[in-house]
């Protein structure tokens, strides 16, 4: 099925063509009656550098699951996650979003069968509270600053700032947010490959350093261009679109194309491979964060379990503070939707979410909310 969550406001980033919030929700049921939940956040206009990977929409994800993946899963042991995920790669290359939904549902089933939370299946918890970074969407300086100020009042201390690749405007937005949140908050712009050349990127980043930014995320497209920017600025350079797979991580680290790696379970095709990216980054001494697709409660539970198990230095992560209508814990901080399809929110306090401790992903669906927000 496909659900569409109600957006809090018109959040967007450079290159985004359609609203966020449309998710494929997957239910895998075993012959013993256990149900595993998965989620595929699909965006047809978002992919890796130079079309190395590509976008998906709900229809393509459902098609892949029904035609190619379901025959592999029928009769299989859902605890054989590595084997099954490898088998999915045989008939279908790519299609990471569709595969990630399968991976989540398998982990949910395996955790429920074993009576343990999913992070235990990933190696155990390095941490049980996850620091949240609020993403300020594309907006004029005054609106962006107001958004950040209210999020700061909610306890958020880290801000990713979406900017559009116009150096003058980008500097104005970042400066307005710095004035709004003060010196105690960490802020960094995310350009989503928006600068045309490394020289433009370097000049713009150096100008934004006057606003005491701590880092910059994916300023340009392409490994060679990222290498030039990383070598040309004094602050940390994150890659997002540049790393989807463990193999990408190895190449970026070897080429020194970034100082830090942003990880999604969706980009990697599931929790297991996303964790492999983190292990590679940790071995190379690079910090990571989770910078997902602003998932619903199912995917956000997966984010929290993955963040709990992630080795090395994990920076504040751009994942939602899952919000239920009438039970809001934040006004703006981490809030991208006004409601969700799970029955319980995750515990939030002072800029941190607590990792679920129930077996599996630790979430249940609300049938009434499913009926309300289902679109396919």
Under 8 Å between Cβ of 180 and 145:
yes
Q: Is the pLDDT of residue 14 over 70?
A: no
Which CATH code of 3.20.20.120, 2.60.40.10, 3.90.400.10, 3.90.45.10 fits the domain covering 121-354?
A: 3.20.20.120
Neighbouring C-alpha atoms within 13 Å toward the C-beta of 172 = 12
Confidence category of residue 206, pLDDT binned at 50, 70, 90: very high
- The span from the CA of 209 to the CA of 224, in Å, is 23
- Nearest Cα neighbor of 83 from 67, 52, 106, 116 is 106
Under 8 Å between Cβ of 193 and 14:
yes
At residue 249, the pLDDT reads: 98
Under 8 Å between Cβ of 68 and 91:
yes
Q: What is the torsion angle, in degrees rounded to the nearest 10, for the CA atoms of residue 253, residue 195, residue 268 and residue 213? A: 70
What's phi and psi for 374, nearest 5 deg? Answer: -70, 135
Residue range 318-330, pLDDT digits in tens: 999 999 999 999 9
Under 8 Å between Cβ of 187 and 181:
yes
At residue 15, the pLDDT reads: 59
Per-residue pLDDT, averaged over 148-177, amounts to: 97
- Nearest Cα neighbor of 20 from 73, 63, 57 is 57
The β-bridge partners of 36 are 28
Residue range 223-263, pLDDT digits in tens: 999 999 999 999 999 999 999 999 999 999 999 999 999 99
At residue 208, the pLDDT reads: 97
Residue range 61-75, pLDDT digits in tens: 999 999 999 999 999
Q: Which uninterrupted H or E stretch holds 178?
A: helix 167-181
Residue range 115-135, pLDDT digits in tens: 999 999 999 999 999 999 999
Per-residue pLDDT, averaged over 172-179, amounts to: 98
Per-residue pLDDT, averaged over 205-221, amounts to: 97
Q: 350 by DSSP, 3-state: which?
A: coil
Confidence category of residue 17, pLDDT binned at 50, 70, 90: low
Confidence category of residue 18, pLDDT binned at 50, 70, 90: low
Per-residue pLDDT, averaged over 195-204, amounts to: 97
At residue 182, the pLDDT reads: 96
The token pair at 47 is: 């992919």
At residue 4, the pLDDT reads: 93
At residue 53, the pLDDT reads: 84
At residue 40, the pLDDT reads: 94
Domain chopping of the chain, boundaries: 2-116+367-373, 121-354
Under 8 Å between Cβ of 53 and 47:
yes
- The span from the CA of 87 to the CA of 245, in Å, is 17
Residue range 294-310, pLDDT digits in tens: 999 999 999 999 999 99
Global pTM value: 0.96
CA–CA–CA angle 363, 306, 313 (5° rounding): 145
Q: Is the pLDDT of residue 317 over 80?
A: yes
- Nearest Cα neighbor of 3 from 306, 362, 341, 290 is 341
> Mean pLDDT in the chain?
95
Question: Going by CATH, does the domain composed of 2-116+367-373 fall within 3.30.930.10?
Answer: no
The β-bridge partners of 239 are 261
Residue range 360-371, pLDDT digits in tens: 999 999 999 999
Confidence category of residue 16, pLDDT binned at 50, 70, 90: low
Q: Is the pLDDT of residue 113 over 70?
A: yes
């Amino acid at each position: 099925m496909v659900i569409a969550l109600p957006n809090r406001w018109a959040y967007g980033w450079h290159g985004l063509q359609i609203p966020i919030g449309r998710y494929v929700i997957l239910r895998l049921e075993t012959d013993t009656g256990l149900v595993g939940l998965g989620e595929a956040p699909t965006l047809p206009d978002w992919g890796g550098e130079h079309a190395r990977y590509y976008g998906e929409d709900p229809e393509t994800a459902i098609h892949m699951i029904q035609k190619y993946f379901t025959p592999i899963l029928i009769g299989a042991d859902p605890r054989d996650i590595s084997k099954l995920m490898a088998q999915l790669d045989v008939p279908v290359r790519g299609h990471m979003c569709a595969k990630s939904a399968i991976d989540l549902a398998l982990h949910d089933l395996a955790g429920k069968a074993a009576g343990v939370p999913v992070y235990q299946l990933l190696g155990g918890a390095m941490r049980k509270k996850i620091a949240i970074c609020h993403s300020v969407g594309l907006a004029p300086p005054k609106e962006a600053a107001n958004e950040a100020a209210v999020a700061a009042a909610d306890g958020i201390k880290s801000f990713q700032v979406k900017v559009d690749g116009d150096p003058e405007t980008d500097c104005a937005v970042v400066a307005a947010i710095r004035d709004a949140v003060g010196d105690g908050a960490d802020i960094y712009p995310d350009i989503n490959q928006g600068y045309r050349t490394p020289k433009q990127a370097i000049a713009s980043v150096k100008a934004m350093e006057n606003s005491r930014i701590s880092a910059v995320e994916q300023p340009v497209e392409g490994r060679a261009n990222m290498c030039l920017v990383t070598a040309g600025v004094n602050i940390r350079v994150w890659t997002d679109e540049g790393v989807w797979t463990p193999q990408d991580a190895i190449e970026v680290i070897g080429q020194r194309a970034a100082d830090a790696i942003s990880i999604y379970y969706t980009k990697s095709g599931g929790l297991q491979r996303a964790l492999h990216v983190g292990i590679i980054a940790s071995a190379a001494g690079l910090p990571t964060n989770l910078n997902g697709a602003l998932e619903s409660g199912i995917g956000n539970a997966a984010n929290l379990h993955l963040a709990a198990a992630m080795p090395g230095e994990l920076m504040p992560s751009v994942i939602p503070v899952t919000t239920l209508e009438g039970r809001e814990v934040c006004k703006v901080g981490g809030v991208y939707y006004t409601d969700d399809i799970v029955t319980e929110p995750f515990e939030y306090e002072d800029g941190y979410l607590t990792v679920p401790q129930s077996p599996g992903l630790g979430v249940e669906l609300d049938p009434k909310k499913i009926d309300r927000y289902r679109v396919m």
